[in-house]
Structure 1
Amino acid sequence: MSLTIRPAEPADAGLIFDFVRELAEYEKLLHEVGATVADIERDVFGPNPRVFSDIAEWEGEPAGFVLWFYNYSTFRGRHGIFLEDLFVRPAFRGRGIATELMRHLARRCVKESLDRFEWSVLNWNEPAIRFYRAIGALPMDAWTLQRVSGGALKKLAAG
């Protein structure tokens, strides 16, 4: 196995964008992608990044990535990591790359004394759900994700 996981660099902005589009295509959500390479350059590699990314390479070839940020639990009084995206290209699946990417972030949590590692998954994505159960993740059955965006966000902001 020749797997390397490294922090993303500014030159990776286009690659990250490609991964995002490939993930969105797999999730049947390509029509929702409005992000640009410039957005990634600004938010992941700008002067005050709040979003971070790591790249998985298999024998030097880009195989997958994670994009994540720190969150905070007021109940626990501790920071954690929220995984926004995990993606491994189909040609590289079945090699343990997703497991290693998750382990990479879990190690960061432990090293930084973070309290939790969370993410969401589409309810139809059975392969991902099986994978998450296999690594010890449990669903938060009592919670549902809520979102305000677009016109509803503007209406709420306007009062």
Structure 2
Amino acid sequence: MILIRPALAGDVPTILHFVRELAAFEREPDAVKATEAMLSGALFGPAPAAEAVVAGRDGDLVGFALFFHNFSTWTGRRGLYLEDLYVTPAARGEGVGTALLRHLARVAVERDCARFEWSVLDWNADAIAFYRAMGAEGLDEWTVQRVAGPALARLAGQE
């Protein structure tokens, strides 16, 4: 049986471990700069930036989802944005990802969110097929734009 529950402060080391495994899977093993202290502050500090749920099976954590709210001016309502979804390789294909997505869909509905959105790498065919099977639609006409690092400092006028 899969149990989905809100993450606790004591789950942060496991969540960070999962984030590192996800980064390795996404071909960016050295890209994770987050620390336990940073994640703890983001999830459990005085002004949390995000929330997380964990998936457990037989007493072990086997996955997590980290999410936050965004806002749509077009709908006039907030949405739920899934930043990361991860299931350990040993637990894949056993309904953990489905349970996590269904849980977050319920959260979105309970919170009157207009949308539940996330991004997926275009080469991750298995994930894309899984998301389509869950009812997700690809927004092919939209592309993600990002400003980070030195480019962000330049844009902010703080070179």
TM-score (norm 2): 0.97
Q: Runs ≥4 in structure 1, deviation > 3 angstroms?
A: none
Which residue of 2 is the match for residue 64 of structure 1?
Answer: 63
| CA deviation profile, 1:4-63 (whole Å, cap 9, x unmatched) | 001001111111100100111111111211111111011111111120000000111110
SS of residue paired to 1:31: coil
Tell me how far apart the structure 1 counterparts of residues 49 and 99 of structure 2 sit (CA, whole Å).
23
Calculate percent identity across the aligned residue pairs. 50
Partner of 2:81: 82
Describe the SS at the equivalent of 2:30.
helix
Residue 23 (structure 1) aligns with: 22
How far residue 141 of structure 1 moved from its aligned partner, in angstroms, is 1.4
TM-score (norm 1): 0.97
Match of 2:112 in 1: 113
Q: Tell me, what secondary structure is at the counterpart of 1:148?
A: coil
- Structure 1 segment 34-49 matched on structure 2, within 5 A: 34-49=33-48
Kindly state the Cα deviation for residue 145 of structure 1 after the two structures are TM-superposed: 0.2
Distance 1:136 1:32 in 2: 30
Are positions 1:156 and 2:155 aligned together? yes
Aligned residue identity for 1:65: F
The offset of 1:97, in angstroms, is: 0.5
Provide the aligned C-alpha RMSD in A.
Answer: 0.9
Distance 2:2 2:53 in 1: 13
**1:6 aligns to what SS in structure 2?**
strand
Larger mean Cα displacement after TM superposition, 123-132 or 26-35? 26-35
Q: Tell me how far 1:142 sits from its aligned partner.
A: 1.5
Q: How does 1:84-99 map to 2 (within 5 A)?
A: 84-99=83-98
**Aligned residue pairs: how many?**
158
CA distance in 1, matches of 2:44, 2:15: 12
1:111 Cα offset (Å): 1.2
Q: Deviations over 1:51-100 (max 9, x none)?
A: 00000001111100000000100111010100000000001111111001
Contiguous gaps of at least 5 residues in structure 2: none
Structure-2 separation of matches of 1:32 and 1:18: 13
Letter in 2 for 1:135: M
- Corresponding residue of 1:131: 130
